[in-house]
Structure 1
Amino acid sequence: MIALDHFDHQAAIFEGEFLEALVQAYGGAMDAVDIDALISAIEAGDEEAIASAMNIDAGVHSGLAVAFSSGLFYALLGSIVIAMKAFASRHKSRVNLSTDIAKLREDIERNILQPMARYSYEAITTAHRELQKSDMTARAKAALIIRSIAFAPDQARSAAHFARALHEALTAKDRSVQDGKTYVTPATAKLIVQRHMKHLNAAQRSALRSAFAKGLTEEGTTDVQRRHDRALINYRQSIIARQEATRAMHVGEYLAFKQGKANRTIPRDARRYWKTRGDERVRHDHRMVTAMNPNGIDVGQAFQTPLGPVMNPPLGVNCRCRVVVRRPSDADE
């Protein structure tokens, strides 16, 4: 098992900064939507007007792209620079921070910010497409579509099916009303859950069964929907922040390694080695990377992995692997 105290500590700081930037960017994008214009566009079935109200342009969410290009971009860039400095300090090497800045700007924009804005566009269009199949009010659809800005496309589909299932119970032909609450028969409840089953996660299915058993109200249904949407959003944003914090650390260390090799402040035979935590939580694919690259790799080379070549961790969601630099003659860290 390897100690990653410094790495973990710095990555945790970056993760907090990225999460704050994400919350602000997505929140600002949702607040910027003119909901009345969106409702009118939905009622008219005008997809061009919907795109305009949602700030969709050329396959991206343009408002989100602008927000990312300020807060999140500088958080990422600053984190990479800090990681470069820390690596150089540990290895007693030199880095020129201005050397890679221009390319970093381009890489961050192309590989991180633009894809996230595209995912938002895809989530919005997915939500709209799924909600078109429901007779929910335009206002209810608009609220769901606005929240989908912060979803991944599959989350948008899941949230739409969850909302449709709740609405179907509220409007079921065999519903009954008791003490202000709407109930459906066990058979109808089962049918509704089954109809949407493959698009719902376990928590959503459980919430539907509980809501159907306890009875539904318009206000309560809206509250349940919002809570589950918020849980999806929080989960996604925390995963993104953790992934990008890890990625920023490794990108910074790789750039410092590359510069150190170029200016000869790092030994010519130093190489990069993939390390896992060495505990029972390490996934098989991640453990295999060490075995597939026993002699390490040099500048410009990618690690061979069961999932294809990669330059740096993370190799997947919640990856805890990292890269260490050493000479082949040194003892394994």
Structure 2
Amino acid sequence: MANHDQIDALTASHERELSEALADAYSELLAGFELNAIASSLDDIDPDHIRDQLELILNLHDRGVPEPFERRADKIADKLESFILAIAALAAAQAGHTINDRDAKLADARQAARAFGNHLVAETALQISAAIEAAIVGRGSTDARAEQFRRSIGLSPKQADSLEAMRLALKQHVATPRRLLPATMNTDGVRTPARYTRTTKTRPIIAGLRGRVSAAQLRLVVKALANADLSQADANQLLDRHAAALRSFRINAVAGEAMHELAESAKLAGWQTAQHYGALPANQRRFWQTAEDERVRHTHSQVSELNPQGVQLGEPFETPFGPRMNAPLEWGCRCRATLWPKR
């Protein structure tokens, strides 16, 4: 069990490092966007020309992202490769075997680190491309669309859509004229001071948000719509803060999911390497283990029931979602594989 504890501790520390590395990569990327230049390029009627101009302004490399971001992704992949080798070594040590970093049996696990770096670049390129299209067809001034372009980088499509829905709702409220209500006094002599109000029709705005934003986001917008003094600058600050929170949440989720998947793949590679050299028997089996608490989903606990005798090292587990070689089973999964069933 000592090695399992070491694997868990190493995975947790590298998960934090990966979150920080991804946050730094996106911060550098966003800092390199010149909003004035982006806004100027959007002031054109030819979409193709806008795309060409933005490609130059954003310094997009062959793979659709700025070259510094590609270098960041390569460094992240290098760190992940070191992590994978360390986890594989700990897993092999469970069988009393010491692995060689260059062993051919580790090739697939090492490639997983490269795959993550490539996926990061490809996904960010898609985000930039989608943000460009949204900025071209979006509503509002060129400055507003340029700001929203930058906010959406690092977000999932669903997050970007919810942020755009919030922006349009706040834009409609800010555009509604304010009028001053005079001071009043009731029959008890209680005076209500003069105040500004807006005649924003909040009901259709809120109705239009349903299905596009979360309950928490809806509450945020409702609160903003109740503020008659809300300015465009205030709305921009609210959107900037919320975009940063969405990006941070997604970065942490991606890091957690990636480290879990890479750790499980590396463990299997370590065990298979140990088996190849005779440190584990040819019929060695591995077993599915849940976190064993009240948060475990029924479908995850079913995996142990579907594989009561475990599976061979090279065989997948039978799961309610089909055969799977390793955890995670789905988003947020905390399951893992072990060499021996729990006693």
TM-score relative to the length of structure 1: 0.87
The offset of 1:259, in angstroms, is 0.4
Matched, 1:332 2:342: yes
The offset of 1:258, in angstroms, is 1.0
Matched, 1:84 2:97: no
CA distance in 2, matches of 1:79, 1:178: 63
Structure 1 residue aligned with 2:203: 190
Change (3 A) 1:59 1:68: closer
Q: For 2:339, what is the secondary structure of its paired residue? A: strand
Query: Partner letter of residue 314 of structure 2?
Result: G
Query: Partner letter of residue 302 of structure 2?
Result: M
Tell me, which stretches of 5 or more residues in structure 2 are unaligned? 182-194
Q: Please tell me whether the aligned partners of residues 134 and 164 of structure 1 are also in contact (alpha carbons under 8 angstroms).
A: no
The offset of 1:114, in angstroms, is 2.6
Query: Partner letter of residue 333 of structure 2?
Result: C
**How many residues matched?**
321
Structure 1 residue aligned with 2:148: 144
What percent of counterpart residues are identical? Answer: 24
Structure 2 residue aligned with 1:304: 318
Matched, 1:24 2:24: yes
Structure 2 residue aligned with 1:207: 220
| Match among 211, 216, 237 for residue 223 of structure 1 | 237
Report matched runs for 1:26-105 at 5 Å. 26-44=26-44, 45=47, 46-56=50-60, 60-61=64-65, 63=67, 64-70=69-75, 72-100=76-104, 103-105=108-110
Matched, 1:107 2:120: no
Q: For 1:317, what is the secondary structure of its paired residue? A: coil
Q: Please tell me whether the aligned partners of residues 85 and 110 of structure 2 are also in contact (alpha carbons under 8 angstroms).
A: no
The offset of 1:5, in angstroms, is 4.3
Change (3 A) 1:190 1:106: same
| Match among 325, 328, 334 for residue 320 of structure 1 | 334
CA distance in 1, matches of 2:123, 2:9: 30
Matched, 1:162 2:166: yes
Report matched runs for 1:115-134 at 5 Å. 115-132=119-136, 134=138
Tell me, which stretches of 5 or more residues in structure 1 are unaligned? none
Q: Please tell me whether the aligned partners of residues 303 and 317 of structure 2 are also in contact (alpha carbons under 8 angstroms).
A: yes
The offset of 1:122, in angstroms, is 3.0
Matched, 1:176 2:181: no
Q: Please tell me whether the aligned partners of residues 88 and 266 of structure 2 are also in contact (alpha carbons under 8 angstroms).
A: yes
Q: For 2:170, what is the secondary structure of its paired residue? A: helix
CA distance in 2, matches of 1:80, 1:266: 20
The offset of 1:221, in angstroms, is 0.7
The offset of 1:156, in angstroms, is 1.3
- More deviation, 206-215/51-60: 51-60
Query: Partner letter of residue 218 of structure 1?
Result: Q
The offset of 1:65, in angstroms, is 3.5
| Match among 296, 309, 313 for residue 282 of structure 1 | 296
Q: For 1:199, what is the secondary structure of its paired residue? A: coil
CA distance in 2, matches of 1:178, 1:7: 64
CA distance in 1, matches of 2:112, 2:64: 17
CA distance in 2, matches of 1:56, 1:289: 45
Give the structure with higher Rg (CA): 2
Query: Partner letter of residue 193 of structure 1?
Result: I
Change (3 A) 1:301 1:53: farther
The offset of 1:56, in angstroms, is 4.7
